[in-house]
Chains A and B, each alone.
Chain A
Amino acid sequence: MRIISRGFRGRRDRTEGGRLPPGQYLVRDFPVLSAGPTPRTKLTDWSFSITGEVDEPKTWTWEQFRSLPTETLTRDIHCVTKWSKLDTAWEGVSVDTLLEGVETAAEYVMAFSDGDYTTNLPLEDLTGGRAWVAFAYDGAPLEPQHGGPARLLVPHLYLWKSAKWVRGLRLMNDDEPGFWETYGYHMYGDPWREQRYSGD
């Protein structure tokens, strides 16, 4: 039997009901959650690669990456720890741009990051204008604690899929679990279907 704590509501704001997936609440700050220490890779040592099941791997230095065409976008983001943040403003390179000219039969992707973090996604979810490698938030360079210099941004999935400090995408024929997925987080992670844990 659960004891109800009389008068306890938690720090939760559900006022934007329609825009909040089930179980989520609204925050106005930007919580920091990391599975490890914040990596501090120098921009001169940074690169971004497309590897795995591709005819020809691709790599960009920071300079080359930043000379790619960029997009600005405003999206709601949803974290599995139950906070959502509305209308977040980002600038980044569309994954469509990064995959231009890449020949592959792969259907899945493992995003990999500094600090050995990984997360898996269907390739389909990274294409068609649904995913970015973002380097700016709210008009300023992305801060290290939020994933700077660059993070993956896949706003339609729970935020653990938007790998911070991302350094590349490994294309795979078969789905494989990334870091959290190995330990029981959901393989897909759709906030609207509340896919938090495997089996949800």
Chain B
Amino acid sequence: MARAAIQRRLTWRVARVAEVVDETPRVRSLALSVPDWPGHRAGQHVDVRLTAEDGYVAERSYSIASAPDDGERLMLTVERIDDGEVSPYLTEELQPGDPVELRGPIGGYFAWTVDDGGPLLLVAGGSGVCPLMAMIRHRAARASMVPARLLYSSRTLDDVIYRDELDRDGGDGSGLEVVHTLTRGHPPGWTGRSRRIDAEMLAELAWPPERRPLAYVCGPTPLVESVASALVALGHDPDRVRTERFGPTGN
């Protein structure tokens, strides 16, 4: 990534909604075209700003779900929080062609590039999969063979975001494994896991601490807190356990 781009002062840009894609009943992806997008690293986010007619402003952060390797196309994936202020607007009101203000890319801490290596342990709850998807897509775009595992907790099978893409990627022989766990019921014949992510599950699925995996944990704050402390308790180096708390976003 060009350093000059990172050095630039953060400014608000006007993006256009190019396309909307319903991922699950509660989650919609927004493909945005952002003129002069300076590029980003997988895991970074943008701030989105909405302005009402009377000048009232609300700002929220959304992870970039698309790989850095996609040019001026930027994909955000938003989960609707029913009593929320911004997410219902983004998932229900915003239409192709509409402008939306954003600034970014933001954040260097929760970011991964293939050069950072692995093994890569990705742990997600709900929409927390978004920045991790950018990492998975970036890894694939670069044909990286860094061993990677995604442990992904959803409420039900219907709530799994990017399900088809993950099914494909998980079996592509590149060394990516995808493990789902469902917390609120599962379909008949479900052979995957069906409970909240706990220490036992992490002990089984995370690489042993001696392999020094690089862990990225993302989702609702309570899930991130419990997974991060469990990983540290299992002996993982706290400096290699990176977290992105989304706040009280359900799940």
Contact = CB atoms under 8 A, between A and B. Distances in A.
Instruction: Indicate if A touches B (C-beta under 8 A).
Output: yes
Contacts of A3: 14, 51, 99-101
Interface in B44-78: 50-53, 55-56, 58
A12 B58 CA distance: 11
Given A4-B51, A5-B50, A12 B56 contact: yes
B85 interface: yes
Interface string B13-38: 01000000000000000000000000
A7 B93 contact: yes
B56 A10 contact: yes
Counting chain B CB atoms within 10 Å of each CB, which of A3, A6, A7, A8 scores highest?
A8
A178 B53 CA distance: 35
Given A11-B85, A12-B56, A6 B98 contact: yes
B89 interface: yes
A154 B147 CA distance: 57
Nearest to B53: A4
A5 B56 contact: no
A2 interface: yes
Contacts of B58: 8, 10
A9 interface: yes
Interface string A146-170: 0000000000000000000000000
Interface residues of A, number: 11
Contacts of B83: 11
Interface residues of B, number: 17
Contacts of A7: 89, 93
Interface in A5-31: 5-12
B51 A5 contact: yes
A10 B85 contact: yes
B148 to A, nearest CB: 34
A197 to B, nearest CB: 16
Contacts of B100: 3, 5
B229 to A, nearest CB: 15
A8 B51 contact: yes
Interface in B132-184: none
A2 B100 CA distance: 10
Interface in A68-124: none
Contacts of B85: 10-11
Contacts of A9: 52, 56
A12 B56 CA distance: 10
A32 to B, nearest CB: 9
Contacts of A11: 83-85
B87 to A, nearest CB: 11
Nearest to B55: A2
Nearest to B83: A11
B52 A5 contact: yes
A12 B83 CA distance: 12
A116 B89 CA distance: 38
A4 B52 contact: yes
A4 B58 CA distance: 12
B81 to A, nearest CB: 11
B92 to A, nearest CB: 10
Interface of A: 2-12
In the A-B complex, the 7 residue pairs with the smallest Cβ-Cβ separation, listed nearest first, are: A11-B85, A5-B50, A8-B50, A10-B56, A3-B99, A8-B52, A7-B93
Interface of B: 14, 50-53, 55-56, 58, 83-85, 89, 93, 98-101
12 contacts: A2-B51, A3-B101, A4-B52, A5-B52, A5-B89, A5-B98, A5-B100, A6-B93, A9-B52, A10-B56, A11-B83, A11-B84
